């Protein structure tokens, strides 16, 4: 009876007060005075959010009434809130199952056991947890999304299939499921990608490119090539953990596939592993291919071996002098070496080779901005060229606004940064620089809001940390 009434309340101390008042009102026998005192003290402690004290008083009350299910449940919840798993479980196991709502008991146990991380397979118990328990689906979703981002493995397919089956309208889960299928079962991926295209918002750029790559590569009849093309798509979007899995899948089919070997090494490098063995093997197998040399340069750069990186990039450039990415990479290496003249020339070469690619104009602009080199004559024109090539992208406006801010062209900077935020309001860089501008212009409240946004959007990152310092 008490449990049915108490479930209407979500606040912990409201539940406890209700149970206590009901017991005081209808108990046929006088209650133990110490029990009543413990209940009252626990109620006060909960009102002031003093959870440890409340738990001690609830446990003191249970000494007098050890079979009261409501108090055991409350004690279990309080102990769980404090991170005391063993204590929480002890109280939960004291409850007579017949006195509980079975679903509530199941959900508490699932929460206590952390069904998201302990489940080995999406069995009937897992489905019951994510379907019936209020927080079950969200906990499982968060757990498996974290796993997907760091190390997307084939074992995750079954869990994302289960989550998709439970909430077919969750586009994020459906997208991740389709991405995993693209790696581990690419024949089934197009059907899910096409279904996503019919959802509100349609396909994003990554999903569209995946569908196009799988459809095109499937016609070639090579499974290894198909996996490698999927990996190339993920690599273009800097999704290195799943790109690594794609290239590894290609090598499992065709171990001597040089392209996949080189890119697998690159993906390992980009995910904090040592991919030099694979890159060196690819270079040995295809000594005239410029890519292993370029990838090896990245390996050396990560280790601070700038001279070796420069030599590797020179070798790559000799083999592919028309490649703008290699030229831009050389610019980065020369900048690390402090040769800004050579770096400028390398970045300019990249823009000459690919004048219609905004990325190389942005690299030139950011290089000039980072090292404060001729902002008016180099950085600003490069940013404007990036905008003219890609007027719908926020990146050019953000960089231009940052350059104008550095040049103290405040009215122009405000216009550029507002445009960037109109296109992409979740850009932490644009938010941070807009906050700086508003601070300079004497609008502290607007600046504070921009810094808040940057700190949230880039928590722990460069802009997030700078925004936090501006708010101190």
Give the domain CATH number at 9: 1.25.40
**Is 334 contained in some domain?**
no
Do 175 and 108 share a structural domain?
no
Burial code (b: 16+ CB inside 10 Å, e: under 16) for 102-138 equals eeebbbbbbbbeebbeebeebeeebebbbeebeebbe
pLDDT value at 10 more than 50: no
Phi-psi region of 323 (alpha: psi -120 to 50; beta: other; left: phi over 0): beta
pLDDT of res. 16: 46
Last residue of a domain, one of 264, 284, 304: 284
Q: How confident is the model at residue 248 (pLDDT cuts 50, 70, 90)?
A: very high
Residue 92 domain flag: yes
Backbone angles phi, psi at 29, to 5 degrees: -120, 150
Q: Is the pTM of this model over 0.75?
A: no
Instruction: Please write the tens of the pLDDT for every residue from 185-197.
Output: 999 999 999 998 8
362 lies in some domain: no
From 98, 113, 128, the end of a domain falls on: 113
Q: How many whole angstroms separate alpha carbon 88 and alpha carbon 85?
A: 5
Does residue 103 surpass a pLDDT of 70?
no
Answer yes or no: do 197 and 267 share one domain: yes
Residue span of the structural domain in which 76 resides: 2-113
Quick one: tokens of 445? 């409240």
Of 43, 78, 113, which marks where a domain is finished? Answer: 113
Structural domain total, the chain: 2
- The reply to whether 301 falls in a domain is no
In a domain? residue 87 = yes
What average pLDDT does the chain have?
Answer: 84
* 109 and 173 belong to one structural domain: no
CB-CB neighbours of 413 under 10 Å: 24
Here the CATH number for the domain that contains residue 242 is 1.25.40.10
Q: Indicate whether 99 and 172 sit together in one domain.
A: no
Q: Is the pLDDT of residue 32 over 80?
A: no
As a whole number, mean pLDDT of residues 148-155 equals 89
Same domain, 178 and 258: yes
**For residues 298 and 326, what is the distance between their CA atoms, to the nearest angstrom?**
11
174 falls within a domain: yes
Which has more confidence, 429 or 313? 429
**Nearest-CA neighbor of 292 among 262, 267, 337?**
262
Q: What is the pLDDT of residue 110?
A: 64
Between 181 and 103, whose confidence is greater?
181
Do residue 174 and residue 279 come from a single domain?
yes
pLDDT at 337: 82
42 is a domain residue: yes
Q: Using DSSP, state whether 277 is helix, strand or coil.
A: helix
Asked whether the predicted pLDDT for residue 462 surpasses 90, the reply is no
Report the pLDDT value the prediction gives residue 430, as an integer from 0 to 100: 94
What would the pLDDT profile of 345-379 be if each residue is shown by its tens digit?
A: 999 999 999 999 999 999 999 999 999 999 999 99
Specify the higher pLDDT residue, 204 or 367.
Answer: 367
Q: What is the pLDDT of residue 316?
A: 87
How confident is the model at residue 102, as a pLDDT?
Answer: 54
Q: How confident is the model at residue 396 (pLDDT cuts 50, 70, 90)?
A: very high
pLDDT of residue 109: 66
Q: Tell whether 470 is covered by a domain.
A: no
- C-alpha–C-alpha distance, residues 283 and 276, integer Å: 10
Higher pLDDT, 63 or 46: 63
């Amino acid at each position: 009876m008490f449990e049915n009434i108490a479930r209407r309340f979500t606040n912990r101390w409201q539940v406890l007060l209700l149970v206590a008042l009901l017991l005081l009102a209808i108990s046929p026998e006088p209650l133990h005075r110490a029990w009543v005192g413990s209940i009252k003290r626990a109620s006060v402690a909960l009102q002031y959010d003093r959870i440890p004290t409340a738990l001690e008083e609830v446990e003191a009350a249970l000494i007098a009434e050890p079979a009261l299910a409501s108090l055991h449940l409350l004690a279990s919840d309080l102990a769980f809130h404090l991170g005391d798993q063993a204590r929480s479980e002890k109280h939960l196991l004291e409850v007579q199952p017949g006195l509980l709502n079975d679903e509530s008991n199941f959900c508490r146990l699932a929460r206590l056991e952390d069904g998201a991380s302990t489940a080995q397979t999406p069995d009937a118990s897992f489905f019951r947890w994510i379907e019936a328990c209020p927080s079950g689906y969200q906990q499982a979703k968060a757990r498996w999304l974290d796993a997907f981002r760091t190390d997307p493995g084939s074992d995750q397919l079954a869990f994302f299939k289960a989550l998709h089956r439970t909430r077919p309208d969750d586009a994020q889960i459906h997208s991740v499921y389709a991405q995993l299928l693209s790696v581990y079962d690419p024949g089934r991926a197009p059907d899910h990608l096409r279904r996503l295209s019919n959802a509100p918002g349609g396909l994003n750029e990554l999903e569209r490119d995946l569908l196009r790559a799988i459809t095109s590569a499937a016609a070639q009849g090579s499974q290894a090539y198909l996996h490698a093309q999927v990996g190339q798509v993920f690599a273009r979007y800097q999704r290195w953990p799943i790109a690594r899995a794609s290239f590894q899948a290609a090598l499992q089919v065709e171990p001597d596939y040089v392209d996949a070997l080189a890119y697998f090494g690159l993906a390992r490098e980009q995910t904090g592993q040592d991919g030099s063995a694979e890159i060196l093997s690819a270079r040995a197998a295809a000594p005239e291919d410029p890519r292993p040399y370029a990838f090896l340069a990245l390996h050396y750069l990560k280790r601070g071996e700038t001279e070796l990186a420069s030599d590797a990039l020179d070798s790559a450039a000799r083999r592919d002098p028309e490649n703008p990415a290699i030229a831009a990479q050389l610019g980065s290496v020369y900048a690390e070496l402090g040769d800004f003249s050579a770096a400028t020339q390398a970045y300019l070469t990249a823009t000459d080779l690919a004048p219609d690619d905004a990325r190389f104009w942005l690299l030139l602009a950011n290089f000039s901005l980072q090292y404060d080199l001729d902002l008016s004559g180099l950085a600003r024109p490069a940013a404007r060229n990036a905008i003219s090539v890609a007027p719908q992208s926020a990146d050019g406006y953000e960089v231009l606004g940052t350059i104008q801010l550095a040049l103290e062209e405040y009215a122009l900077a405000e216009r550029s940064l507002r445009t960037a935020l109109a296109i992409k309001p979740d850009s932490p860089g644009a938010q941070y620089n807009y906050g700086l501008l508003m601070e300079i212009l004497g609008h502290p409240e607007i600046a504070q809001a921009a810094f808040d946004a940057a700190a949230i959007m880039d928590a722990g990152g460069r802009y997030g940390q700078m925004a936090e310092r501006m708010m101190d």
